[in-house]
């Protein structure tokens, strides 16, 4: 089994990364392989609505000049997917949105190819917009017919400055529980 996490924060080792790492530690503790892909700060464009993915049906986006198709391949190879994002102007980072829009469209165009994978959102926030971001990321999972594990609260951690989220004891515990629940679910459904 494998879980791939996508860090949508341009701060490679910032608060989003810290939260994702906490989830992955719990998953790894259950003997499941993990991988993190840095998306934030990388050139990844949004969907241009060309609909070539519906014509080609090759499990890839026709706009192949950025990292999107590599991300899609990693999603396909994984049993679980984590999308992590900081909150920017009350929503996810633009790189996270581009990943969701294009990977989601490719999945739908190819018979909902991410169906029944396990997916979880992880959100780093200074103050407001966390619930909206959490919900928006989860739309990717529900539209793609994926399965979302719960935690003891919404999957968010609070902190603005790099590393400040480490002071959010409850947020870190939520991430640990999310990882444990994701691992449990994967072991139940992946044969």
pLDDT of 168? 98
Classify 4 in phi/psi space as left (phi over 0), alpha (psi -120 to 50) or beta.
beta
Contact yes or no for 127/164 (Cβ under 8 A): no
pTM score, two decimals? 0.97
Q: Would you call 74 helix, strand, or coil by DSSP?
A: helix
Count CA within 13 A, CB hemisphere, residue 26: 21
pLDDT of the chain along its 191 residues, tens only? 999 999 999 999 999 999 999 999 999 999 999 999 999 999 999 999 999 999 999 999 999 999 999 999 999 999 999 999 999 999 999 999 999 999 999 999 999 999 999 999 999 999 999 999 999 999 999 999 999 999 999 999 999 999 999 999 999 999 999 999 999 999 999 87
pLDDT at res. 191: 77
Please, what is the angle between helix 68-77 and helix 94-109, to 10°?
Answer: 60
CA 47 from centroid of its chain's CA atoms: 18
Query: How far, in Å, CA of 40 to CA of 18, rounded?
Result: 14
């Amino acid at each position: 089994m494998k879980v791939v996490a996508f860090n949508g924060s341009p701060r490679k080792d910032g608060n989003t990364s810290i939260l994702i790492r906490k989830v992955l530690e719990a998953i790894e503790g259950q003997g499941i392989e993990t991988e993190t892909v840095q998306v934030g700060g990388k050139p990844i464009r949004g969907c241009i609505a060309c609909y070539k993915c519906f014509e080609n049906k090759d499990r890839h986006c026709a706009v192949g000049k950025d990292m999107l198709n590599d991300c899609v391949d990693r999603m396909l190879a994984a049993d679980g997917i984590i999308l992590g994002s900081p909150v920017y102007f009350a929503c996810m980072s633009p790189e996270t949105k581009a990943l969701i829009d294009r990977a989601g469209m490719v999945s739908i165009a190819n018979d909902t190819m991410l169906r029944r994978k396990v997916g979880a959102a992880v959100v780093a926030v200074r103050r407001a917009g966390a619930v909206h971001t959490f919900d928006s990321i989860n739309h990717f999972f529900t539209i793609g017919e994926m399965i979302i594990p719960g935690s003891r609260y919404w999957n968010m951690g609070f902190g603005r400055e790099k590393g400040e989220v480490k002071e959010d004891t409850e947020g870190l515990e939520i991430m640990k529980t999310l990882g444990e629940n994701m691992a449990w679910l994967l072991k139940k459904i992946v044969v």
